[in-house]
Structure 1
Amino acid sequence: MSLGEVVSLSPKQERSIAEANARLNIWSGAIRSGKTIASLLRWLMYIANAPRGGALVIVGKTADTIARNIFDPLMDPAITGPLSRRILYTRGAPTANILGRRVEIISSNDARSENRLRGMTCAGAYVDEATLIERSFWDQLLARLSVKGAKLFASTNPDSPTHWLKKHFLDRAGELDLKHWHFTLDDNPALDPLYVANLKLEYTGLWYKRFILGQWVVAEGAIYDLWDPDKMVVDSLPPMERWLSLGIDYGTVNPFDAVLVGVSTPDVQGQRRIYLASEWRWDSRAERRQLTDAEYSKRLTEWMDDLPDTYGPGTSGVRPEWMIVDPSAASFITQLYRDGHAPTMGDNSVIDGIRTVSNLIAADQLRVHRSCEGFLSEIGSYAWDDKKAERGDDAPIKVDDHALDAVRYALHTTQAAWVPLMDLAA
């Protein structure tokens, strides 16, 4: 297959494809840097001439990520040209047909997946988002690549420098039959320069180093390092285009916290922003009394009914579009349904949620009303856990983060609704 006739490639992509002839071939680096396309095209070339007598396998974290990250590009004629018609796959199916070869599809998020792998003899494998794969699954996959000439191809965003993939494989490339290519955002000349410039502004700290520079760096220091209370804390609210969500972090012994979120109408520059408009908090230790689920629901409803219009036009009696609740609060979610609300279970992907909030702060698209005292008291001390970072895990210190969790649920779970509004404003 002639790559030049299918898709325009950067020199680094072409070089990595031409050199990917080791037993283990790994592309890592920044988002949108071209690493995934290069690895997929090399995988496609490998399938066309793969050894017989063994299975071909595609591995990803979930069925959805496999479909989105692997098959959407492979089946796009703009990327694979006429070969796209020879790639047959139905989302969620256990197998695909690629260039006439049967390919097994395995989601490593499924507890049964490693058992399925144990019975295989493999001639080739492609792994998407390799840092998200469990080490035991990875080791089992390598053991199954026993056909003569079998090869593995993998792509990944970088993680902690102590992650097992970095420490035990990439750092030992000279000892192993392994080739590794590192990509930065600037390695993809096909991207719109304005998009690249905006992305570099939107990511900060840890995220900038990993997702722009493609570095394997440890999480350290303050999480929201660009938080600027002098600019981002306000005493009044503009009119809201949408009352977006109410994020709720449930607590009994720990504080219960709810934060109301709105999207403002465009200002004179056409800029919309996310506003944390108001906060309700119940700290059972300070109040010397715990509330029941029914009492929480009643007081939350009364709080929304009684919000004064002085917070901003239309605040009194507000009912946001979504009520996003801590996913661990099953009994409280049931109580809200009984009381006529329509709660949604929050997305508790902690790191992704932190990144969502970080990007809003970096893009200067977040404002917080001064009445949100819990959030304002917590954000300045919100920091990465050094001990967990040493073990290769990115995690915040779980102290005084109740309003922060409520905001994370409210924003990350609803980002499909508000991100297009921010894009239009930009």
Structure 2
Amino acid sequence: MLDQLPLSRKQLRSIAQATARINIWSGAIRSGKTIASLLAFLIAISTAPTTGLIVVVGRSLQTIERNVLDPLQTIELFGPLARQVHHTRGATTATILGRTIHLIGAADARAEGRLRGLTASLAYVDEATLIPEGFWNQLLGRLSVPGARLFGTTNPDGPGHWLKKRFLDRANELDLRAWHFTLDDNPSLAPAYVAALKAEYVGLWYRRFIDGAWVQAEGAVYDMWQPDTMVVDLLPQMQRILGVGVDYGTVNAFSALLLGLGVDGRLYVVSEYRHDSRITRRQLTDAQYSQGLRNWLEVNDAQPEWLFIDPSAASFMTQLWTDGVPGVAKADNDVLDGIRSVGVALGSGRLLVHRSCQGLIDELPGYSWDDSAAAKGIDKPLKVNDHSCDALRYVLHSTAHEWRGLLRTDLRPAA
């Protein structure tokens, strides 16, 4: 099988050397680390002891299906072996090479309970930096069968992350082997695709996902923001009004942003509705916010496809539904993925902001990473003056599946 795939020397070496108790493949996206780790995992399954369970761990069952099982079932990657990978969507077990594989989602510390009483001989961990440290420690404790091994993959995180500090940096002290991959380590990638990947990531995400560096999140979250070139006075005709992002606030500011796709192939923050009770000294009810939002949309002659609301604002969503407002939905509130979507759109020159959106324009330069959290290995923005930034993240990330394939590909990052 190995001689049928265009594997690099580093991939082959990592597969052959993955005999330690802990084996970790880290580095850039699309660098070949996942394929190498999955091949090593298949080989390990074929020789694993019959005592002890085999488990695959990921942030959720859905990510396990997408990142592990779907590739394993791809004929182009694994040939005839792909036919020996059987899984029913949504099931918590799979069958690989005749062995039952247990699939465990580990989104938070509560997932540790799923390991209680378990004895394992082999484990595969997808996106290891996203797994709670307590779960990881519990899993290592459950790998108690003689010769048990753990295979893990990860993109780099901050240098203070527990996986780097407690394991990767101590590889010489532990029964651990690790391999670091860059895009150049994947011989199957076309140069044009590599160039496109490099154009899609900026700032922190470029350094981590393209360079494969363990770097700290510090300074401005959107360090690519340049108001001189990204704030516009005139808007082109909009071919679509993709949505509205709403960050709900009563004591704090209430902010709504209207996102459109222009005929020129760029995204535009067209307009902003904002009410700050600390400035106006007047708090509004859900009904008043609903009326204000509808009046604002009417003034802008806008019929957005979706209204993405702060997921914590359940009462406000109920008010909108009562008022018959169409397209109301909970926003995707994955903070880091949402920040990445905004950063990609800004850094590639694909997102511009109309000058009337003053709340957003004022907030973007000061939206910063929390240094105290970064020192603990946690990426978290400061929760200060971030209401319009949150509204932007809600609408941009929640519609990412719509706009990523629609934008012009010849745009360049702002100078």
User: TM-score normalized by structure 1?
Assistant: 0.94
- Correspondence for 1:321 among 280, 305, 309: 305
Match of 2:325 in 1: 341
Deviation at 1:153, TM superposition (A): 0.5
Matched, 1:257 2:258: no
Match of 1:48 in 2: 46
Which whole-Å CA distance do the structure 1 matches of 2:241 and 2:190 have between them?
A: 33
Q: Which amino acid aligns with 2:260?
A: G
Which whole-Å CA distance do the structure 2 matches of 1:282 and 1:351 have between them?
A: 26
- Correspondence for 1:372 among 352, 357, 360: 357
Match of 1:314 in 2: none
Which whole-Å CA distance do the structure 2 matches of 1:102 and 1:139 have between them?
A: 23
Deviation at 1:376, TM superposition (A): 0.5
- Correspondence for 1:284 among 277, 283, 291: 277
Which whole-Å CA distance do the structure 2 matches of 1:112 and 1:137 have between them?
A: 8
Q: Which amino acid aligns with 2:2?
A: L
Deviation at 1:424, TM superposition (A): 6.2
Q: Which amino acid aligns with 2:337?
A: D
Deviation at 1:123, TM superposition (A): 0.9
Which whole-Å CA distance do the structure 2 matches of 1:24 and 1:111 have between them?
A: 21
Which whole-Å CA distance do the structure 1 matches of 2:27 and 2:184 have between them?
A: 11
Contact preservation (8 Å) 1:276, 1:369: yes
Q: Secondary structure at the match of 1:59?
A: strand
Q: Which amino acid aligns with 2:243?
A: S
Which whole-Å CA distance do the structure 2 matches of 1:66 and 1:173 have between them?
A: 26
Q: Which amino acid aligns with 1:394?
A: D
Q: Which amino acid aligns with 1:414?
A: T
Contact preservation (8 Å) 1:237, 1:277: yes
Deviation at 1:352, TM superposition (A): 0.7
Name the stretch that deviates more: 184-193 or 204-213.
184-193
Which whole-Å CA distance do the structure 2 matches of 1:123 and 1:406 have between them?
A: 46
Deviation at 1:184, TM superposition (A): 1.3
Match of 1:4 in 2: 3
Q: Which amino acid aligns with 1:387?
A: S
Deviation at 1:51, TM superposition (A): 1.5
Instruction: Provide the aligned C-alpha RMSD in A.
Output: 1.3
Q: Secondary structure at the match of 1:355?
A: helix
Q: Secondary structure at the match of 1:421?
A: coil
Deviation at 1:115, TM superposition (A): 2.5
Q: Which amino acid aligns with 1:91?
A: R
Which whole-Å CA distance do the structure 1 matches of 2:256 and 2:50 have between them?
A: 58
Q: Secondary structure at the match of 2:15?
A: helix
- Correspondence for 2:227 among 204, 226, 229: 229
Which whole-Å CA distance do the structure 2 matches of 1:367 and 1:61 have between them?
A: 33
Which whole-Å CA distance do the structure 2 matches of 1:360 and 1:195 have between them?
A: 18
Matched, 1:145 2:134: no
- Correspondence for 1:422 among 395, 407, 415: 407
User: TM-score normalized by structure 2?
Assistant: 0.96
1:134-181 deviation per Cα after TM superposition (whole angstroms, max 9, x unaligned): 111111111111111111101011111111111111111001110000
Q: Secondary structure at the match of 1:380?
A: helix
Which whole-Å CA distance do the structure 2 matches of 1:110 and 1:392 have between them?
A: 16
Contact preservation (8 Å) 1:63, 1:91: no
Q: Secondary structure at the match of 1:289?
A: coil
Deviation at 1:306, TM superposition (A): 1.7
1:349-372 deviation per Cα after TM superposition (whole angstroms, max 9, x unaligned): 111111101001111111111000
Which whole-Å CA distance do the structure 2 matches of 1:379 and 1:281 have between them?
A: 15
Match of 2:346 in 1: 361
Name the stretch that deviates more: 190-199 or 159-168.
190-199
Deviation at 1:396, TM superposition (A): 1.0
Q: Which amino acid aligns with 1:56?
A: I
Which whole-Å CA distance do the structure 1 matches of 2:237 and 2:91 have between them?
A: 47
Deviation at 1:336, TM superposition (A): 0.4
Match of 2:84 in 1: 86
List gaps (5 residues or longer) in structure 1. 267-271, 308-316
Which whole-Å CA distance do the structure 1 matches of 2:257 and 2:110 have between them?
A: 39
Name the stretch that deviates more: 416-425 or 236-245.
416-425
Which whole-Å CA distance do the structure 1 matches of 2:110 and 2:382 have between them?
A: 32
List gaps (5 residues or longer) in structure 2. none
Deviation at 1:252, TM superposition (A): 0.3
- Correspondence for 1:295 among 288, 294, 308: 288
Match of 1:97 in 2: 95
Which whole-Å CA distance do the structure 1 matches of 2:19 and 2:167 have between them?
A: 16
- Correspondence for 1:402 among 373, 387, 391: 387
Aligned length in residues: 410
- What does 1:54-203 correspond to in 2, within 5 Å? 54-109=52-107, 113-203=111-201
- Correspondence for 1:31 among 29, 32, 39: 29
Q: Which amino acid aligns with 2:314?
A: A
Q: Secondary structure at the match of 2:23?
A: strand
Q: Which amino acid aligns with 1:355?
A: R
1:6-42 deviation per Cα after TM superposition (whole angstroms, max 9, x unaligned): x221221111111111111000111111111110110
Which whole-Å CA distance do the structure 1 matches of 2:99 and 2:322 have between them?
A: 53
- Correspondence for 1:413 among 395, 398, 406: 398
Match of 1:313 in 2: none
1:358-405 deviation per Cα after TM superposition (whole angstroms, max 9, x unaligned): 001111111111000001111111111111111111111111111111
Which whole-Å CA distance do the structure 2 matches of 1:36 and 1:227 have between them?
A: 33
